[in-house]
Amino acid sequence: MTILAIETSCDETGAAVVEGCGNRVKIFSNAVGSQIKIHQRYGGVVPELAARRHAEMIVSVIEKALNQAFPNYDGDAQIFAKNIDAIAVTNAPGLIIALLVGLEAAKSLAFAWSKPLIGVNHLEGHIYSVLAESGIQDASFFNSPSLALIVSGGHTELILIHKYGDYQVLGRTRDDAAGEAFDKAAKILSLPYPGGPAISKAAIEGLADAHKMPLAMLNSKDFDFSFAGIKTHVLNLVKELKRGSVPFIANIAASFQEAICDILVAKTIAAALHHRIKSIIITGGVSANARLREKFQEAAQIENLNCHFPSLELSGDNAAMIGIAGYLKARSNKFDDIFKLKAMPKIKW
């Protein structure tokens, strides 16, 4: 089954062509139109601007994905249509006006080309992104229980996956998402947006133990997270200390990054041990963080657990992961009604 996938839930306009066969998936193309420059001066995503840019970009990004997947067809929409079996699109969760752009584009194509439509939960997209270019060979991995930590700009969720399609939310953030904390701390430190890559770059020159950060909820009995306190601590440090020097920023960045990683690793490993799960998936934009990957690998080795990360290209938002999740849904014969599928800001697992 060859799927054209579309993703516009936040600030990346994505389109991809993915092929699924049995338990395996293959990515033919994965086009992303980034909006980082637009949102950079605001230090975060501005929904109205994101939606406008999606509307401007969506057709050319879809065209790019199709041309890359079928290079010999030279923009011929009819031949593209013949080669596509279904259209997958993120319909939740996300910024509603951003989601609507991709959803309406997907519906229009599905209607015009008479193709089935598959609405995809963006977070399932992040989970199943590990099926391409990671250590996980195929979807039979999900026949056994696993644990997923989804860490992005909008989400920090610990999901127990009993099997494909059967989820249990074990915990989530009570305030800021981990990526949001990175973005806000970067803004306080006058580092560019997105904050995650900027902080991890600054942290290379810093000492992770230079500042003691509050490790909120580390010892709480549940698997919830809280990152607002660490961010406020960064603000207080910046106010108190003599600011501006490079070591000053580097030390705060390194201490901040270490604290976020420590909490994410400790809580996730505790949840895995508590539920006797052997395999952990760490996914979403923040999973690109090198220190986080390192700390997870170290902790998992000690506890004899397996950690799986998406490739760096698939860590952040992209349409290929929506195509993969869409394929798995289509394989279970779950298609959506073109005239009824709605964009939703939140989802129920």
How far apart CA 131 and CA 321 sit, in angstroms, is: 9
Q: Does 197 bind ligand KG4 (CB under 6 A)?
A: yes
Near ligand KG4 by CB under 6 A: residue from 13, 30, 35, 200? 200
Near ligand KG4 by CB under 6 A: residue from 6, 10, 32, 98? 10
- Binder of residue 67, out of Zn ion, ligand KG4, none (CB less than 5 to 8 A by kind): none
Name the segment binding ligand KG4 (CB under 6 A); options: 28-36, 47-55, 127-135, 189-197: 189-197
Q: Does 182 bind ligand KG4 (CB under 6 A)?
A: yes
> Which residues have a Cβ under 8 Å from the Cβ of 338 and sit 6 or more positions away?
107, 110, 111, 117
Q: Does 152 bind Zn ion (CB under 5 A)?
A: yes
Tell me the closest approach of the beta carbon of residue 94 to Zn ion, in angstroms.
8
Does residue 294 contact residue 96 with C-beta atoms inside 8 Å?
Answer: no
User: Between helices 290-303 and 195-203, what is the axis angle to 10°?
Assistant: 80
- Binder of residue 102, out of Zn ion, ligand KG4, none (CB less than 5 to 8 A by kind): none
- Binder of residue 14, out of ligand KG4, Zn ion, none (CB less than 5 to 8 A by kind): none
Near Zn ion by CB under 5 A: residue from 11, 176, 183, 317? 317
Q: Does 33 bind ligand KG4 (CB under 6 A)?
A: no
Q: Does 206 bind ligand KG4 (CB under 6 A)?
A: no
What is the pattern of x (binds ligand KG4, CB under 6 A) and - over residues 282-321? --xxx-xx--------------------------xx----
Q: Does 196 bind ligand KG4 (CB under 6 A)?
A: yes
Tell me the closest approach of the beta carbon of residue 199 to ligand KG4, in angstroms.
7
Sheet order of strands, 146-151 included: 166-172, 156-163, 146-151, 279-283, 306-308
Q: Does 179 bind ligand KG4 (CB under 6 A)?
A: yes
Name the segment binding ligand KG4 (CB under 6 A); options: 156-164, 177-185, 217-225, 268-276: 177-185
Does residue 249 contact residue 203 with C-beta atoms inside 8 Å?
Answer: no
Burial string for 335-346 (b: 16+ CB within 10 Å, else e) reads: bbebeebebeee
How far apart CA 1 and CA 99 sit, in angstroms, is: 24
How far apart CA 195 and CA 199 sit, in angstroms, is: 6
How far apart CA 12 and CA 267 sit, in angstroms, is: 29
User: Which DSSP symbol is given to 336?
Assistant: B
Tell me the closest approach of the beta carbon of residue 152 to Zn ion, in angstroms.
4
Sheet order of strands, 24-34 included: 24-34, 12-21, 2-7, 86-92, 117-121
- Binder of residue 320, out of Zn ion, ligand KG4, none (CB less than 5 to 8 A by kind): none
Q: Does 154 bind ligand KG4 (CB under 6 A)?
A: yes
Nearer to ligand KG4, 122 or 211 (CB): 122
Burial string for 29-64 (b: 16+ CB within 10 Å, else e) reads: bbbbbebeeebeeebebbeeebbbbbbebbeebbeb
Tell me the closest approach of the beta carbon of residue 317 to Zn ion, in angstroms.
4
Q: Does 91 bind ligand KG4 (CB under 6 A)?
A: no
What single-letter amino acid sits at 243?
Answer: R
Residues that bind ligand KG4 in the complex, under the rule CB under 6 A: 10, 152-154, 179-180, 182-183, 194-197, 200, 284-286, 288-289, 316-317
